[in-house]
Amino acid sequence: MTTQPWSERPEEEANLLNPAFCSLLIRSAARDYRSATKTSLPFALSFLILPVVLHKPTRDALPSTTATLMTAWAVANPAVLAGFGQRAQRFVESTREAILFGAGHGWLKFTGPGLIAGPKRLGGDPANLPSNTAEVGSCFAASRLLGRWLASAGTTATVMSIWGVAP
């Protein structure tokens, strides 16, 4: 794995995909996943968070409530799912980096085969910082929804095959 040093990344990409923000997104998804299932967010599913939440068309297409079943939603949104596999591949390194970063800061914690929110947090849950823009707010809202939504969607294999990705 070759992760580019921070200083050598394109500025826009470095800021948008900065590991702190990304790991807080994963943390909020893991937190809501756990509150719904009492179990940790499976490691493989944590790689779905960023490509869904940070891709605006996908985020905007998310349902307003988890009462909408994921399988039913997927059938109704072929456009969103069409390119998801490729997008998810592009987010793999960012996700890995975010998880390591989050684990290092105590924002994320490994238990068994999955992730839970760590004991430390940053300005509330989800992080409520003065610098939060409306867009950041909607990213956090989406990641929490996704956490609860994944909780009710079926086995990890079913979920991944619905989104068209494999480990």
What are the structure tokens assigned to 139, written together?
A: 């990213």
Tokens linked to 20? 């702190």
- For the bound state, the minimum distance from the C-beta of residue 47 to another protein, rounded and expressed in Å, comes to 6
Residues in region 96-125 near another protein by CB under 8 A? 96, 99-100, 110-114
The H-or-E segment that residue 58 falls in is helix 56-61
Among 75, 106, 120, 128, binds another protein (CB under 8 A): 75
Minimum separation from the CB atom of position 122 to another protein (A) = 21
Site string for another protein, 2-41 (x = CB under 8 A): ----------------------------------------
User: Which one of 14, 20, 44, 122 is in contact with another protein (CB under 8 A)?
Assistant: 44
Among 78, 119, 124, 130, binds another protein (CB under 8 A): 78
Residue 95 near residue 26 (C-beta atoms within 8 A): yes
Best CA proximity match to 144, nearest among 131, 132, 127 = 127
CA dist 94 and 113 (Å) reads 20
Cβ 49 to another protein shortest distance, Å: 13
What is the torsional sign of CA 96, 100, 101, 105?
A: positive
